[in-house]
Structure 1
Amino acid sequence: MCSKLQALSWRIKQASSNGKWREVLSSYSEIQTTSGTQLNDPFLFPIVFKACGKLSWLSRGRCIHASLYKRGFESFVSVGNSIADFYMKCGDLCSATRVFDCITSRDSVSWNVVVFGFLDHGFVEEGLWWFSKSRVWGFEPNVSTLVLVIHAYRGLRSYVDGEKIHSYVIRSGFYGVSSVQNSILSLYAECDLTNARKLFDGMSERDVISWSVVIRSYVQSQEPVCGLKLFREMVREGETEPDSVTVTSVLKGCAVLEDVNMGRSVHGFSIRKGFAMADVFVRNSLIDMYSKGFDVDSAFRVFDETTCRNIVSWNSILAGFAQNQRYEEALKMFGLMRKEAVEADEVTLVSLLQVCKFFEQPLPCKSVHCVMIRFGYESNEVTLSSLIDAYTSCSLVDDARAVFEWMAYKDVVSCSTMISGLARSGRPDEAISIFSQMKDKPNAVTVVNLLDACSASADLRKSKWAHGIAIRRGLATADISLDTSIVDAYAKCGAIEMARRAFNLVPRKNVVSWTVIILAYAINGLPERALVSFEEMKREGYAPNAVTYLAVLSACNHGGLIKQGLMIFKSMVKDHKKPSLQHYSCLVDMLSRAGEIETAMELIKNLPEDVKPGASAWGSILSGCRNRLKSGIITTEAIAEVLELEPLCSSGYLLASSVFAAEKSWEDVASMRRLVKERKVRVVAGYSTVLEGTVSRRFLAGEKLNQSDCEINTVVQSLHRCLTSENSMEWISTKVF
């Protein structure tokens, strides 16, 4: 019988060394069922509990624990440690701590079991408390526990405790262990990148994890240039081979910089190393990099060659098509995604909402909203913000407002989106009200949207208020887009001198800020100053882009500077800037205003093949015919083109009606009005906004006022004072739709 017991004991040890945990427990059961024998070797019990822990057999382990407790084996330190570790592995932390409390002579293993167990199960604060308690008792952690402790401080972003644990690691002699070094490096990379780089430079031996940690931290800290330089240094040294994690971080850096050339080099490197085909993370990063680098065709080739696609792969290519404004292909990809039974998630819905926003179709937006409700994605702030943006773009402002009001927590992103949507939809007062109710601190994007709302209201007082907020928040002169929005807001309120002063305060001007000040002069009837600013911009070394040329042409157009406008258009072509439809439309409008109707028609007839004249160009021809009383074939053709291109837009019908009225062709005027009613075209009237004191008053064309005579006289007198004052441009802003 004794020999059989020895054989079973040997079998337990052999099965443990081979990782055959079921065989360990079956051999133990055989010993228990053999008559007259009991296992009394305390060195075998840790093996048995380890097997229970590996198999997560909690009930079986408890039964064995009960039998050992009756026989007094729990007092052995090694047995007590193995029982506590078994409970930790099975997730029964309360039983594990009770066993720990019963161990009379605890050693370092006992403490490590408890600390490691709590941290491994995500109970960070409890695990760190046990770690502090073990240090008070003078017990040292092992390497695995120490790594978990460092990662716990990293997760809490506790920089002070990180420095303390760093000092402890150096004193206790653990600093030479690479896993510990890399853990401390990761902690510093989360909290202080400068010290992380110092630590990295001082490391005698760097492995691939060390390099990857620092490269990733540079990319995540919006310093991708430093990350790419470090990657080049890593490859140049040749002592450490980059792995797929390193390549993924580098590709993300290329995506942030929109550097496709560098991305292609990394792509070739990953092919040589065998990462490009085998690693789905690398392939997804390649798709994202090419998409953000405006090479969506290469992104699709990578996607098409990917055999191990996951939801991230589909979302990356779908977002790539949407970001590159290839919305029809994005819809086809979504159809293919459904065909292959890949379930959409929140990221997919955000891309679909971008497509819906482009097509301005209300029904698809509501369909996506239904999917969000059905799959429980309404708690995702990013998805809800995208839904609000899509609703406002599709003229469903009330639906967007309902979604916004429903949100339990309105973060700065959702508030900024709602403010932008209301400003775009002609409801600036509501947008300003949303800003006033914000609980989070506004960022630069929020204030930019607020300025857009203030400029839409044409209220100079509110624009000054928004400017003051930007100054108090320390955002003014710190963000170029915000500085440009301040200039634009003042310009749209008619305060051109204030706009110029705000422009002069911009510390780092760019082509966009110069374009805005040129456009400011153009819309405020100062074409000569717009041309002076254009020349000043070129002297400062800024190359005008297509939008800049459009602003200057607009200034020449509204100022009647035909000769200068034609010269600027020729210089644009000479500078190899390909004119777009907007540039040609502006040129047509300029010629039409000058009475050169035949020349404008000739220009339309000889446009490049890839440029088709839009309703605005034909509307300019029609407006010129009205002003010059030109009739005949040109007028008939222009009316036909305008009504065909924009059949539901009221401006074309009104313009055609005014042309016929100027010719005293009253039957044709009546015909236009009947056509408007038959097609159910919604007529939008023009309006003027006048600032009276602190109140912005709007006068709609053809509107009958219901105010008392006294109020009307007050408004008229205020209007007269505005018109006769020296600063009338700062008081009046007129908008016609």
Structure 2
Amino acid sequence: MGPHMCRKLQALSSRIKQASSNAKWRDVLSAYSDIQTSGTQLNDPFLFPIVLKSCAKLSRLSQGRCLHASLLKRGFESFVSVGNSIVDLYMKCGDFCSATRALFTSSRDDSVSRNVVVFGFLDRGFAERGLRWFSESRAWGFDPNVSTLVLVIQALRRGFGSYVDGEKIHGYVIRSGFFGISSVQNSVLSLYAGFDLFTARKVFDEMSERDVVSWSVVIRCYVQTREPVFALNLFREMVREGKTGPDSVTVTSVLHGCALLEDADVGRSVHGFSIRKGFDLGDVFVLNSLIDMYSKGFDVDSAFRVFDEMTCRNMVTWNSILAGFVHNQRNEEALEMFGLMRKEAVGADEVTLVSLLQVCKFFQQPLPCKSVHCVIIRRAYESNKVVFTSLIDAYTSCSLVDNATTLFESMSFKDVVSCSTMISGLARSGRPDEAISIFCQMKDKPNAITIINLLDACSVSADLRKSRWAHGIAIRRGLATTDISVDTSIADAYAKCGAIEMARRTFDSVPRKNVVSWTVIISAYAINGLPEKALASFEEMKREGCTPNAVTYLAVLSACNHGGLIKQGLMIFKSMVEDHNKPSLKHYSCLVDMLSRAGEIETAMELIKNLPDDMKPGAGAWGSILSGCRNRLKSGIVTTEAISEVLVLEPMCSSGYLLASSVFAAEKSWEDVASMRRLVKERKVPVVAGYSTVLEGAIAKRFLAGEKLNQSDCEINNVVQSLHRCLTLENTMEWI
């Protein structure tokens, strides 16, 4: 080779090295191509790995094969660095067969080449093959490098290994001296976090040096295991220690913890911290977490302010604020937000449709619910179980129970969530027998939610035997006396079946009573006509240190209402206001009903006229006024106004027309009675008849008002007549 060609080869070789140092892989291949076309051959074995690496980086598999063939002919494959680079080329290009063949045919099968193969399998997502190669290579005496070891631990964390495998790799890491490396420490910590929080915390406490990843892993683990208090305490410790500052990942986990606690005040302080650190200025993950935290902390106005100030929004942002409005029962604004999404040309996904179905459920509008169903079909979202279950739930709430049943029956596998939703929907729709039938056909083991929904169905059926049966199932499943929600539902079911003593025994067996369980027993006494015991339980609740909420006050007021305890009811309402509990429209309506029943029509009307500015009396309040006028035989302007308001507020509800008709009948104003009946027919108002239920053996017989008994109900007819004779005789004896 002449001097000119030597200088040219040296220049091209220098060009390859320079391009490699600058990661300009195309320039490397270009320089190598120039060497080939110049008529000379590259003989420097240290340059071939660079060219092979360039082929791997650019996925030039065919060019790499040609170079491999050339190296085989010229005997360069015997160089260790060249052989390992050939294996690396094939692994990174996805030609695993050629990679393993090159490994086994090379003159030297060492730890470097084994690392290349194991790392290649794991890095490209073939975790099982990578772990198998790792295990076989360990038996051969292979020593992994840090990168390979981290990928092995990550594969075990993703579910390709057991807790025992984790302990084995942890032991190997300690013996081999890798545990001092932060990336390996954090990988082991993440591995245990996926299996056992206690062990993960122990590893964390034993670490001499903790970086931001270490802190973030344990904080996230506490949040994922629904232990947000521990997560917040650890975050405070991290900030107080001051050695390692939290990053946006840490703050995101802490905000999720605040969302679990539903504590916007703590979340607001974390928000202030993130502002000082500059995390919320452009990090969409932190901002989305802020929206979720404020929404679940019942401060959706702050959530919307965060949303409104965002310059960059993604699909999660829109879904978070939409779900926030739904969670805070501000469904009108949720609809406005969805309209804004359409205006901004943001396409709805599965999460968006679930929120829309919740809105349909709230407004009980069948047509929009069907429209959402059409979108679900067009976009092939029916395979999404959350969407499908939400659709079933919305249909049952919109009085489309048959549609929900059809959807439920079309499911190939009915899991515990779908069954629980269907049981709840049927119970809510007054079809408890079908709900119980679905429970009996369940293949999955019922959870606490399923049992609660089953108890709901039993309470709707008002069948004590079914409630006791459901109670037995809760005991066998180990949910009675261990899950306060289940115990509370058991007590509620017994109360609605009239078994107040059994309800009280169930309540007394609850080890740690909360405001919900106290409210249930107070309501139980109220609905069973025992207002004095309801008030006694209310006082006992306060002595036990449990603070009543708005629902509790409503239950006590209802007890006073139906028991005629006007003075006590007014005192309780006054104490509610003094305790800084803002009364809702339901509380005012209960007070109006209580005054109307007592004949204090003028006082009730005065209360209606002086409601807070943000409240408007509903049909129930006006109906109470109307009912009071009928019972006291009072007529005039008050009656006329009450009838007008009831019919305007609920034009398609038969109860308002029937109540107005009964008022006119009490006044013997038969023309007005006929007028009400004509209105019902003209407006096509569906009339729902009242009914009573009588048990015949194990079968509950329902009798509609005005219905004639057929021949098959002759025995029941005899029972009813016999009962009537006994009651008549008892009344006669009392009169005597």
Distance in structure 1 (CA, Å) of the matches to 2:710 and 2:67? 91
Q: Is the 8 A contact 2:220 2:253 kept in 1?
A: yes
1:667 positional shift: 1.8
Percent identity over paired residues: 83
Match of 2:17 in 1: 13
Q: Is the 8 A contact 2:420 2:450 kept in 1?
A: yes
Distance in structure 1 (CA, Å) of the matches to 2:454 and 2:70? 72
Match of 1:732 in 2: none
Give 5+ residue unaligned stretches, structure 1: 725-737
Q: Is the 8 A contact 1:248 1:282 kept in 2?
A: yes
Match of 1:256 in 2: 260
Amino acid at match of 2:409: E
Q: Is the 8 A contact 1:108 1:141 kept in 2?
A: yes
Q: Is the 8 A contact 1:692 1:715 kept in 2?
A: no
Match of 1:41 in 2: 44
Amino acid at match of 1:660: F
Alignment partner for residue 172 of structure 1, among 176, 194, 218?
Answer: 176
Distance in structure 2 (CA, Å) of the matches to 1:19 and 1:719? 97
Distance in structure 2 (CA, Å) of the matches to 1:717 and 1:627? 29
Alignment partner for residue 112 of structure 1, among 98, 115, 124?
Answer: 115
Match of 1:607 in 2: 611
Distance in structure 1 (CA, Å) of the matches to 2:608 and 2:131? 75
Give 5+ residue unaligned stretches, structure 2: 729-736
Distance in structure 2 (CA, Å) of the matches to 1:153 and 1:643? 66
1:164 positional shift: 0.5
Alignment partner for residue 292 of structure 1, among 267, 275, 296?
Answer: 296
1:708 positional shift: 3.0
Alignment partner for residue 362 of structure 2, among 343, 347, 358?
Answer: 358
Match of 2:221 in 1: 217
Deviation per CA, 1:309-357, whole angstroms, max 9, x where unpaired?
Answer: 1111111111111111222222222222222222221111111222222
Distance in structure 1 (CA, Å) of the matches to 2:727 and 2:422? 35
1:588 positional shift: 2.1
Alignment partner for residue 691 of structure 2, among 675, 687, 692?
Answer: 687
| Bigger shift: residues 609-618 or 277-286 | 609-618
CA, structure 1 residues 267+594, in 2 after alignment: closer, same or farther (shift >3 Å)? Answer: closer
CA, structure 1 residues 135+224, in 2 after alignment: closer, same or farther (shift >3 Å)? Answer: same
Q: Is the 8 A contact 1:692 1:718 kept in 2?
A: no
Distance in structure 1 (CA, Å) of the matches to 2:639 and 2:344? 54
Map 1:494-505 to 2 at 5 A.
Answer: 494-505=498-509
CA, structure 1 residues 229+712, in 2 after alignment: closer, same or farther (shift >3 Å)? Answer: closer
Aligned pair 1:306/2:283, yes or no? no
Alignment partner for residue 135 of structure 1, among 134, 138, 148?
Answer: 138
1:22 positional shift: 0.4
Map 1:440-455 to 2 at 5 A.
Answer: 440-455=444-459
Aligned pair 1:571/2:563, yes or no? no
Distance in structure 1 (CA, Å) of the matches to 2:209 and 2:223? 23
Q: Is the 8 A contact 2:696 2:716 kept in 1?
A: no
Map 1:224-373 to 2 at 5 A.
Answer: 224-373=228-377
1:284 positional shift: 1.1
Distance in structure 2 (CA, Å) of the matches to 1:184 and 1:535? 54
Distance in structure 2 (CA, Å) of the matches to 1:206 and 1:721? 84
Q: Is the 8 A contact 1:490 1:498 kept in 2?
A: yes
Distance in structure 2 (CA, Å) of the matches to 1:28 and 1:554? 90
1:493 positional shift: 0.7
Match of 1:55 in 2: 58
1:710 positional shift: 4.3
1:281 positional shift: 1.0
| Bigger shift: residues 559-568 or 50-59 | 559-568
Distance in structure 2 (CA, Å) of the matches to 1:718 and 1:30? 112
Q: Is the 8 A contact 1:432 1:450 kept in 2?
A: yes
1:723 positional shift: 8.5
CA, structure 1 residues 718+464, in 2 after alignment: closer, same or farther (shift >3 Å)? Answer: farther
Match of 1:519 in 2: 523
Distance in structure 2 (CA, Å) of the matches to 1:120 and 1:722? 84
Aligned pair count reads: 723
Match of 2:88 in 1: 85
1:721 positional shift: 12
Q: What secondary structure is seen at the aligned counterpart in 2 of 1:543?
A: coil
Aligned pair 1:597/2:601, yes or no? yes
Q: Is the 8 A contact 2:373 2:391 kept in 1?
A: yes
Amino acid at match of 1:468: G
1:308 positional shift: 2.0
Deviation per CA, 1:115-155, whole angstroms, max 9, x where unpaired?
Answer: 11111122211111100000011010010000011111111
Q: What secondary structure is seen at the aligned counterpart in 1 of 2:443?
A: coil
Distance in structure 1 (CA, Å) of the matches to 2:456 and 2:393? 15
Match of 1:154 in 2: 157
Q: Is the 8 A contact 1:688 1:699 kept in 2?
A: yes
CA, structure 1 residues 718+386, in 2 after alignment: closer, same or farther (shift >3 Å)? Answer: farther
Distance in structure 2 (CA, Å) of the matches to 1:620 and 1:650? 15
1:713 positional shift: 4.5
Amino acid at match of 1:190: G
Q: Is the 8 A contact 2:619 2:646 kept in 1?
A: yes
Aligned pair 1:667/2:675, yes or no? no
| Bigger shift: residues 499-508 or 579-588 | 579-588
Match of 2:731 in 1: none
Relative to the length of structure 2, the TM-score reads: 0.95
Map 1:25-40 to 2 at 5 A.
Answer: 25-35=29-39, 37-40=40-43
1:567 positional shift: 2.7
Distance in structure 2 (CA, Å) of the matches to 1:569 and 1:233? 45
CA, structure 1 residues 585+269, in 2 after alignment: closer, same or farther (shift >3 Å)? Answer: closer
Amino acid at match of 1:112: N
Distance in structure 2 (CA, Å) of the matches to 1:596 and 1:279? 60
Match of 1:555 in 2: 559
Q: What secondary structure is seen at the aligned counterpart in 1 of 2:711?
A: coil
Distance in structure 2 (CA, Å) of the matches to 1:121 and 1:593? 75
Deviation per CA, 1:470-523, whole angstroms, max 9, x where unpaired?
Answer: 111111122222211111000011111110110101111112111111111111
Match of 1:727 in 2: none
Distance in structure 2 (CA, Å) of the matches to 1:646 and 1:409? 41
Could you say which structure has the greater relative contact order, defined with CA pairs below 8 angstroms and 6 or more residues apart? 1
Distance in structure 2 (CA, Å) of the matches to 1:365 and 1:313? 24
Q: Is the 8 A contact 1:615 1:642 kept in 2?
A: yes
| Bigger shift: residues 702-711 or 114-123 | 702-711
| Bigger shift: residues 663-672 or 37-46 | 37-46
Deviation per CA, 1:604-642, whole angstroms, max 9, x where unpaired?
Answer: 233333332211111112222222222233222221111
Map 1:326-725 to 2 at 5 A.
Answer: 326-708=330-712, 710-713=714-717, 716=720
1:720 positional shift: 7.3
| Bigger shift: residues 332-341 or 104-113 | 332-341
Q: Is the 8 A contact 2:235 2:254 kept in 1?
A: yes
Q: Is the 8 A contact 1:208 1:240 kept in 2?
A: yes
Amino acid at match of 2:301: D
Q: What secondary structure is seen at the aligned counterpart in 1 of 2:692?
A: strand
Relative to the length of structure 1, the TM-score reads: 0.94
Deviation per CA, 1:276-310, whole angstroms, max 9, x where unpaired?
Answer: 11211111111111111112122112112211211
Aligned pair 1:124/2:119, yes or no? no
Distance in structure 2 (CA, Å) of the matches to 1:176 and 1:577? 57
Distance in structure 1 (CA, Å) of the matches to 2:490 and 2:588? 30
Distance in structure 1 (CA, Å) of the matches to 2:255 and 2:471? 39
Match of 1:729 in 2: none
Q: Is the 8 A contact 2:709 2:717 kept in 1?
A: no
CA, structure 1 residues 626+65, in 2 after alignment: closer, same or farther (shift >3 Å)? Answer: same
Deviation per CA, 1:85-120, whole angstroms, max 9, x where unpaired?
Answer: 112212222332232232242010111111111111
Distance in structure 1 (CA, Å) of the matches to 2:564 and 2:489? 28
Distance in structure 2 (CA, Å) of the matches to 1:602 and 1:7? 101
1:72 positional shift: 4.2
Amino acid at match of 1:450: L
